Amino acid sequence: MRYFFLVLCIAAALTACDDIDQTNNAGHGQAAVDESQFTTIQWIDSVQNFGRIAEGQNLDVSFRFKNTGDKPLIIRSVRPSCGCTAADPPKEPIAPGAEGVIKATFNSQGREGMNKKDIYVETNTKGQQNHVVHFDVEVVKK
């Protein structure tokens, strides 16, 4: 009888968790996306290698891109892969045919050795909205 009661409790808990997940997703999922406002992007320099820099130096990085579509290009978010890099997306939408830049600064303090850094970019682009730009730099002790 205890075994039956234990199985019943576990089943109830699993079912309750499943219902909670479905309830939370029902009203709070992603907002409807208007794909008619999507455009296309061409990365001019999405991968860069900066060679060697001295530890403690701040390295300024720029990733250029072009809006190759017919709608304004919106950079929704820019997230560096670690706290040693700060990124700054364009504040305004990029007009069709125009170029834009994502600027970043890498703080090399305490980062001796080879560093491979990604920056995740979310856009309103057709097909794929999540892009990754990347840079490599070797930090050498002063």
- Provide the CB-side half-sphere exposure for 40 (13 A, CA): 5
Tokens 């703080």 correspond to: 107
Q: Give the integer Cα–Cα distance in Å for 97 and 73.
A: 10
Q: Give the integer Cα–Cα distance in Å for 63 and 68.
A: 16
The dihedral over CA atoms of 67, 73, 78, 81, expressed in degrees to the nearest 10, equals -40
pLDDT attached to residue 33: 65
What domains can you pick out in the chain, each with its CATH number?
Answer: 40-140 (2.60.40.10)
What tens digit of pLDDT does each residue of 61-104 get? 999 999 999 999 999 999 999 999 999 999 999 999 999 999 99
Q: Are strands 75-80 and 47-54 parallel, antiparallel or unpaired?
A: unpaired
pLDDT attached to residue 78: 97
Higher confidence at residue 2 or residue 106? 106
Q: How far is CA 37 from the centre of its chain?
A: 20
